[in-house]
Structure 1
Amino acid sequence: MHSLPFRPVLLSAVALLALSGCNRKAATPAMPPQQVGVITLHAQSVNVHTVLPGRTDAYEIAQVRPQVTGVIQKRLFTEGADVQAGQQLYQIDPSRYQAAYDTARGQLAQAEAAEVTARAKLQRYKSLLQAHAVSHQDYDDALATEKEAQGQILTAKGQVENAQVDLGYTRMNSPITGRISRSIITVGALVTANQTDNTAVVTRLDPIYVDVNLPAITLLRLKREMAEGRITRQANGEVPVTLTLEDGSTYEHTGRMALSEVNVDTSTASVVVRALMPNPDKLLLPGMYVHAQLDEGADPNGLLVPQQAVSRNTHGDPQVWVVKADDTVELRQIQIGQAVGTDWLVTGGLKAGERIVTVGLQKIKPGAKVKPTDDAAAQAASDASSQNKGQ
């Protein structure tokens, strides 16, 4: 009976304890904003270039073929050596062509002699006609004979020239200056006029072409940026081209873009761009695989974003975290161009003065409040935190 007065006291104590617990829970401080490293974008001059795979192609190539039929008497070059335009490569047996030439010259001499006789007769008949010693018919016949003799001379001269050309073709000369291939035929082989098989191939190696396929969309972007003044062309108007060889080495000579096709390949949506490269050491050979870097000029207002700040969505589109004026973040899709060292050149979606998150990307979400700090300081703090967790 005496324990009843203590029950209200016990209930009051329990209520006070519960109330004090609620007050402690309500007083728990909120989480501070996530610290992130940021950089502020600044416009700067950036050299714009495009790197594309390509193949080397000969500047000039000539297929050596016989123009007359005969037996090869001599081969007058070293396989794989450099030859000059007009240098004799083979000698075809000239006997029959020399005989044909001599015959043609004899026929020309006969025609010229006949013309002398016909001309002298015409002169005599002309004076006799004035004295009425010959008829007009006799004079007309003499005149026709003299003109026919002149025609015979022209025909004979043509035959001499034709025979001389055939005789000259027995000397097979190099049509261009370049490096000659192996010989397909040997001394004693019979070759025929206008045969389809080559006897050798001469290739000019200096300079040499490099053909690359430039995507049409890239060509449109470059033309648009040049029209807007974002890209400044070289002072001489040329586009320099440098090469990276298949083994990863850099080709020591710089070339220039020579031309681009006017038609787009519908199967690849690309345009063939041809560069002209000096090749004094004959290091480049036709058919080599290379990477060509086309330097279009400089973008005076280029924006560079560190590659570590750029992620990609499920569609492969590049995106970055942007810190707004109220220190909240948003995920924004951007457009990027070439890589410049460890950065990407931004072609759309950002402007100068905006802040981009580079450190702490994994700890933020859209609309979250952040504490932006300098990129380097945030990186150091992040590294220290990682070391502490490791210990």
Structure 2
Amino acid sequence: MNSETFIPKTTTISKTNLNPIPIMKKITILSIMAVFLISCADKSQAPAAAPAPLLPVMAIKNSNATTDAEYPASIQGTVDVEIRPQVSGNLDRVYIDEGAYVSKGQSLFKINERPFREQLNNALANLHGAEAALINAQLEIDKLTPLVQNKVVSDYQLKTAKASHRIAASNIEQAKAMVESARINLSYTTIKAPVSGYIGRLPKKQGSLVSASDVEPLTNLSDVHEVYAYFSLGETDFINFKSQYSGNTIGDKIKQLPPVSLLLADGSTYSQLGKIDMVDGQFDKNTGAITVRATFPNASGTLRSGNTGKIRLGIQHDDAILVPQSATIEMQDKIFVFTLNKGNKVNKMPITVIGKSGTDYLIKDGVKSGDQIVLSGIDKLQEGQVIQPEKSTAKVALVINKK
């Protein structure tokens, strides 16, 4: 066997199998298709524009309304009396306590009466002496009269006796006046309530020396079955008040006024309505205001002298423009509403408020009858934003005073 060397055949790879051009074309085409598909996918997933919000709107109309004006008021009893002594002396008894209710004629204090009783006794003694002197003068006249008639003595003596008689009679009148004065002073030692009402503080205690010249009274007594609430009107308010109600005089106009309410210090409304019954005769030159008085019944004693509150006075307005408070927004001490124009765009409009009627604002200027305003959702609105208006059936509420 011939030995032959085995030489393996080398496989030759054709250069055409390694040509990269077709592969690159495929990669490029695939890349372009991927970018196209991704861009299409992004466009399909982009969010659509938000629709215009649907918000309620209302057309403003003129209407009659009653606004409530509030004025600070001070309250007093119909009778506020300072209880003072009319004679000097030691305070023997104090019959009442602070805050107690007393009736007219009830004893409140007792001043030591002994000095005044002695003055009365002395005055009575002088009266008795004057009465005796009058008797003596009369006896003298009776004695001299027949003597003068018989011309035993001259009529000069009789005339002198008659003059003495008149002096004695006048002394009796004077003595009677002194007795009455002493009795009055004695009665002043018992201090009684001039009216029914509530007792105030008692700065003087039993044993204190009191005098009619004391700066501080013994106490104060308030009759509060009715109370007066005093408040002030400025000149402009007073002119409006006079022009609003019919009548030739202030008294005639007062009769046309509706009842008024009283707001207490805690914000609650007093259960009884009051009536304005007095307007002061002149303006205070220092404040430029005039005082007005309203009377309120107070049978339960809820109100006391010294209370404070506010008088709520209803003022009638004809053809007024009212805007709900909920449709307004306040910014930097200004109040705005959003009005709607023809393109359903909103405009932020400042308004001037001159009063309140229930839950509504009374508007002086900024909007007019026929304007449309947005009622809610205004806290998210922007100037010029487009909305979808939804007609509201809400009506502007009017305040009707209870009679």
C-alpha displacement at 1:180, in angstroms?
1.1
Deviation at 1:344, TM superposition (A): 1.6
Are 1:212 and 2:227 matched, yes or no? no
Q: Residue in 2 aligned with 1:192?
A: 211
1:240 aligned counterpart, secondary structure: coil
Task: Find 1:50's aligned residue among 52, 69, 92.
Answer: 69
Q: Which amino acid aligns with 2:151?
A: H
Q: Which 10-residue stretch deviates more, 131-140 or 146-155?
A: 131-140
Deviation digits for residues 48-76 of structure 1, max 9, x if unmatched? 43122333234322222222222222222
1:84-99 correspondence to structure 2 within 5 Å: 84-99=103-118
CA deviation digits over 1:78-103, x for unaligned, max 9? 33211122221122221221121112
Amino acid at match of 1:258: D
1:312-355 C-alpha deviation (Å, 9 max, x unpaired): 89885x6767779999999887654321232122456776x533
Tell me the residue number matched to 1:245. Answer: 264
TM-superposition CA deviations, 1:96-132 (whole Å, max 9, x none): 2112111211211221222133234335544543443
Q: CA deviation at 1:45?
A: 3.7
- The higher radius of gyration belongs to 2
Partner of 1:114: 133
- In the other structure, the counterpart of 1:18 is none
Question: Given that residues 36 and 357 in structure 1 are in contact (C-alpha distance below 8 angstroms), is that contact kept between their aligned partners in structure 2?
Answer: no
Determine if the alignment matches structure 1 residue 145 to structure 2 residue 180: no
Assess if the C-alpha contact under 8 Å between 1:85 and 1:177 holds in 2.
Answer: yes
2:85, 2:210 within 8 Å by CA — same for their partners in 1? yes
Aligned residues: 337
Taking structure 1 as the reference length, the TM-score comes to 0.71
Decide which moves more: 249-258 or 161-170. Answer: 249-258
Question: Residues 148-207 of structure 1: CA distance to partner in whole angstroms, max 9, x if unpaired?
Answer: 011101110111011111111111222332111343233333333432232222222232
Q: Distance in 2 between matches of 1:55 and 1:62?
A: 17
Matched, 1:338 2:371: no
- Is the 2:77–2:224 contact (alpha carbons within 8 Å) kept by the matching residues of 1? yes
C-alpha contact 1:358 1:375 (8 A) present in aligned 2: no
- Asked if 1:354 is matched to 2:370, the reply is yes
2:292 is paired with a residue whose SS is: strand
- Is the CA contact 1:208–1:277 (under 8 Å) kept in the aligned structure 2? yes
What is the identity, as a one-letter code, of the residue corresponding to 2:197?
G
Q: Distance in 1 between matches of 2:314 and 2:119?
A: 60
Give the deviation of 1:144 after TM superposition: 0.7
The separation in 1 between residues aligned to 2:89 and 2:333, in whole angstroms, is: 68
2:325 maps to 1:307 = yes
Superposed, which structure 2 residues align to 1:121-160 within 5 Å? 121-160=140-179
324 and 119 in structure 1: CA distance in 2 versus 1, 3 angstrom threshold? farther
SS in 1 for 2:300: coil
Q: Contact 1:320/1:356 (CA < 8 Å) preserved in 2?
A: no
Match for 2:371: what amino acid?
A: R
Report the RMSD for the aligned CA atoms in angstroms: 3.9
SS at the partner of 2:294?
strand
What is the one-letter code of the residue matched to 1:87? Q
Gaps of 5+ in 1: 1-32, 378-391
Unaligned runs of 5+ in 2: 1-51, 395-403
Shift of 1:293: 0.8
* Residue of structure 2 equivalent to 1:100: 119
Q: Secondary structure at the match of 1:51?
A: strand
Cα distance change of structure 1 residues 342 and 188 upon mapping to structure 2, 3 Å threshold? closer
Q: Would you say the 8 A contact 2:348–2:383 is kept in 1? A: no
- Distance change >3 Å, CA 220–CA 335, structure 1 → 2: farther
**One-letter code of the match for 1:340?**
S
Q: Structure 1 residues 216 and 335, CA, compared in 2 at 3 Å: closer, same or farther?
A: farther
In the alignment, the residues of structure 2 paired with residue 326 and residue 118 of structure 1 have an alpha-carbon distance, to the nearest angstrom, of 118
What SS does structure 2 have at the residue aligned with 1:79? coil
Amino acid of the structure 1 residue aligned with 2:190: R
Letter in 2 for 1:355: D
Identity of aligned residues (%): 26
Q: 1:336 to 1:142 in 2, by over 3 A?
A: same
Letter in 1 for 2:374: T
Q: Residue 260 of structure 2: SS of its match in structure 1?
A: strand
